[in-house]
Amino acid sequence: MSDLPLKEIATVDSVGAPAAAPEWGPWLEEIGFLHGERVELLARAEPGGDPLVVRIGDSTFALRRAEAACVRVLPRPMLAR
């Protein structure tokens, strides 16, 4: 998800976690990053693009790029937007 274009709507495919931070996976799922949920990247902080502002469902979160990279997304078809 960290490479998703701004304002692009996608669907959560899966959530993983790096070996150094295995708690990130369950935490991301707990706050709503579940398979099939609608997600949108709203903004990237400047400079460097970290953190990211992400909308999942009706909630908005600031995630570090490393956290957002744990969320794999699929693009949504044009008709679903």
Beta carbons within 10 angstroms of residue 44's beta carbon: 16
- Candidates 2.30.30.90, 3.40.50.1000, 3.30.2140.20, 3.30.1490.190; CATH matching 9-76: 2.30.30.90
* pLDDT computed for residue 3 by the predictor: 87
CB 78, CB 71: distance < 8 Å: no
Quote the CA–CA distance of 28 and 79 in Å, as a whole number: 28
| Tens-place pLDDT, residues 6-59 | 999 999 999 999 999 999 999 999 999 999 999 999 999 988 788 999 999 899
Q: Give the global pTM.
A: 0.84
Omega before residue 26 within 30° of 0, cis: no
